[in-house]
Amino acid sequence: MHAAFPALRLRRTRAAAWSRRLHAENVLTPADLIWPLFVTDGAGVEEPIATLPGVSRWSVDMIVHRAKEARDLGIPCLALFPNTPRDRRSDDGAEALNPDNLMCRALRAIREAVPEIGLLTDVALDPYTAHGHDGLVDDRGYVRNDATVELLVEQSLNQARAGADVIAPSDMMDGRVGLIRAALEREGFVNTQIMAYAAKYASAFYGPFRDAVGSRGLLKGDKTTYQMDPSNAEEALREVALDLAEGADSVMVKPGLPYLDIVAKVKQAFAVPVFAYQVSGEYAMIEAAVAAGAADRDAMVLETLLAFKRAGCSGVLTYHAAHAARLLAA
């Protein structure tokens, strides 16, 4: 054996628990989590979502309890999504502009009961349209960009007036961030943030979410003319550059785990706050593996969330947020 072999043993710092903790390069805390919640009509209602086992839609009164739970767990922010009743969906998604829609009622109720929690709202028309697309559709099924953006601006103002702290456009229309920013400034919402879903891919991982907001059965065709092609990475950097130039405060990459390369590239190129959305299909994959006896939920949840931090995320939207925060508190 060579005398100096091995000069450096990387296992040395791994040998004891105190040392592993001391050398940890990244740490996950409840402050890294954004909890997506689904709102539904009625009172006292909890509706489990079959394709998202463990996740439910809550009526406005019930979602207030979830907000208190989040606050108590140290989760800084909630993301809200409405399950709009079928008879309130239309081709133009006009319900998105109703100041008394589900989203606005949930915002006001949570703001009143838990004033200190951050409230992020999704901007896109798909929970409100009869065809399940994120915007206005022409006779050939193409989603019209500029006409849609006009509605998204109004939708954003509607949410800001109801108390949203973070406007998160998830529609992937061109130019929407700039016009939303200008409208927010004009109306005095100078501290209302924009988290742009900048690099949002046309993904097979959104299925359970579409069940949750009731748009899966309605969706005609797919979203490939506006969401990004999974082949592309350079294009994600161009999307991010545009959204930042238009006034986004932070950017999001979505889905999460299959796109960690994009998170890392965006962080490196722009040095801005980057978030990732561990989407519904990713959640469902973990739960399916657990149900099959193939995985340890707690370990898998914490490992995947830590991976987002390692890749450069400031935070993660995850349906496991409350569970993860409980694990981290233990």
- Following CA atoms 254, 259, 260, 265 in sequence, which dihedral angle do they give, to the nearest 10 degrees? -90
User: Hunting for tokens 């359970």 — which residue is that?
Assistant: 208
- Per CB under 6 A, which region of 68-76, 139-147, 179-187, 203-211 contacts ligand PBG? 203-211
CB of 235 to ligand PBG, least distance (A): 17
Give which of 82, 28, 79 is closest to 59, Cα–Cα.
82
Active site annotation includes 254: yes
For the CB of residue 86, give the shortest distance to ligand PBG in the complex, in Å. 18
Q: Is 246 marked as binding a ligand?
A: no
Residue 185 phi, psi (nearest 5): -60, -45
Reduced to 3 states (helix: H, G, I; strand: E, B; else coil), residue 103 is helix
Looking at beta carbons only, is 24 or 278 nearer to ligand PBG? 278
Out of 35, 189, 201, 206, the residue judged to bind ligand PBG by CB under 6 A? 206
Residue 200: both structure tokens together: 């949002």
Contact present, 55 and 95 (Cβ < 8 Å): no
**How far is residue 29's CA from residue 315's CA, in Å, rounded to a whole number?**
10
Q: How far apart are CA 197 and CA 126, in angstroms?
A: 15
Shortest Cβ 10–ligand PBG spacing (Å): 37
- Residues touching ligand PBG: how many (CB under 6 A)? 11
Decide if residue 170 touches ligand PBG (CB under 6 A).
yes
200 assigned to active site: yes
Answer positive or negative: Cα dihedral of 226, 120, 31, 205: negative
Draw the binding track, 118-157, toward ligand PBG (x: CB under 6 A; -: no contact): ----x-x-x-------x-----------------------
Binding site members: 239
Q: Name the residues annotated as catalytic.
A: 200, 254
- Which residues contact ligand PBG (rule: CB under 6 A)? 122, 124, 126, 134, 170, 206, 209-210, 223, 279-280
